[in-house]
Amino acid sequence: MYKVVLIEDDPMVQEVNRQFIEQVPPFRVIGMAANGVQGMEMVRNFRPDLVIIDIYMPLKDGLETIQAIRTEKLEVDVIAITAANDIETVRRMLQNGAFDYIMKPFKFERLKQALEHYHTFRQTLKTKEKVTQKELDALLQSNEKERRFELPKGLNDITLQKIVDFLQQQTAPVSAEEVAEGVGIARVTARRYLEYLEKQQKVQLDIQYGGVGRPVNRYIKRP
């Protein structure tokens, strides 16, 4: 059994997350705290395997809490579940060793995926004194694939891959209209996928200014 301390200030979200966590064996919530101060006391006293933590909380927020965990050298892993989506917060949580980072709102399947990967990771480390590069790559890449394919609502993996494949074949930037024609989808749909890929830094935006009329957004796959 993996012992979990859940740190979340919203009582309703706290209970929903507890139910989600305990649907995934062998995880069990042994303590719930409304802020980082209470959470640190539980971590010290209960010695859990895993802390699942929010960022925005009173008294001591999630970032301050994970930093305190590392400062005190408490042997516990951390997964963040939070609405915080700014790059600086994500970067600092990962720098402090967060095992995974899940953004609200999220689906049960995403949390289940994270917990199952954590279980696989722990079991692998538990049964081996040393790991090969191949085994370590499989563990790390598994988590990366999970993050990569958590797409926004309305987007799907198959269409995304078709667009990526189309862009890889291009030697010059192309417009959303050209992508739509090449893949066989509506222009507005192509634009949504291209905007998503740009946010993920998978494509580069090239704004081309012509004569009369609006500038044209063109995209090319990043190397």
Mean pLDDT of 131-157: 66
Cβ atoms of residues 35 and 10 within 8 Å: no
Q: Which carries the bigger pLDDT value, residue 179 or residue 132?
A: 179
The pLDDT value given to residue 130: 79
Whole-number Å distance between alpha carbons of 130 and 124? 10
Binning pLDDT at 50, 70 and 90, where does residue 150 land? low
Q: Which residue has the tokens 């012509």?
A: 210
Find, among 71, 74, 24, the residue nearest to 49 by Cα: 74
Binning pLDDT at 50, 70 and 90, where does residue 129 land? confident
DSSP 98-163: EEEEEESS--HHHHHHHHHHHHHHHHHHHH-SS--HHHHHHHHHHHHHHHHT-PPTT--HHHHHHH
Mean pLDDT of 146-154: 62
Backbone angles phi, psi at 131, to 5 degrees: -120, 150
Tens of pLDDT, residue by residue over 3-57, are 999 999 999 999 999 999 999 989 999 999 999 999 999 999 999 999 999 999 9
Q: Say what the pTM is.
A: 0.62
- Planar angle of CA 212, 217, 220, nearest 5 degrees: 140
Whole-number Å distance between alpha carbons of 43 and 74? 8
The pLDDT value given to residue 222: 78
pLDDT above 90: percentage of residues in the chain: 51
Whole-number Å distance between alpha carbons of 72 and 75? 9
For residue 48, cis peptide bond before it (omega within 30 degrees of 0): no
Find, among 98, 20, 19, 15, the residue nearest to 55 by Cα: 98
Whole-number Å distance between alpha carbons of 27 and 140? 21
Domains of the chain: 2-106 (3.40.50.2300), 157-221 (1.10.10.10)
Tens of pLDDT, residue by residue over 158-190, are 888 889 889 988 989 999 999 999 999 999 999
